[in-house]
Structure 1
Amino acid sequence: MATPHSPQLLSRVLTPDESDYAGYVETGAIKHPDWRDQRIDFQPYPFPSYTEELVRLLKETTVAGERGFLDGLDPAFVARDLMDDRFVKKTIEDIGGLSQFGLADDWTRQEVFEI
């Protein structure tokens, strides 16, 4: 099924030109221009640090309904329990490592969030 959006609109959203990007920075829509995050991006490896930080943030989030189970979650255990990265690591190593995706050849990273 095709998207109902024009190619021009999709291009502007997915790959904004520098003047659009500068406008997003000026209005505050982009708060950290030095991060150079892509609005739509592909991350080739499921970094456990992301899952760990997500669990930590969920513990601080107001959630409607029963949320008691969150208090008992260990972020590191959740990341290990949810992800089996053996296959994706082997595949990435077979094609030359994380550097092929513009990332440091390190299987860890530090997550930085601003809310």
Structure 2
Amino acid sequence: MTDKLNVLVRVDIDCARAKIAAQGRVTTQSLQALYVVLKRANSLMEGLALEIDVTRARVEPDALKQLRACSQSRHLPAHIDPFQADCKLSILAPEDSLTTMRKARLAA
């Protein structure tokens, strides 16, 4: 698996949902790029349900913690979305991101 972050966005306007699948390594730095993608998808239509799938990514624990905070608050960080639009975000994450990161280090 590469450290390069790859993102695929699938939008279903009829069902009012978007799925963002991330692969590679998700760090607190690369998370900023994911936030921009989430903001763009969220702006497509009001009430759009966003699902970010990081099950095939290596996610740093701090990055996952930040994503979960956004999901709970229903807002993206203020520096990404100063108007704080409502954001229905759900996260599909590996069971234990820390274990995933350790396995990746051992495999390298």
Bigger radius of gyration among the two: 1
In the superposition, the TM-score normalised over structure 1's length comes to 0.24
Higher fraction of strand? 2
Greater per-residue helix proportion: 1
With structure 2 as the length reference, what TM-score do the two structures score? 0.25
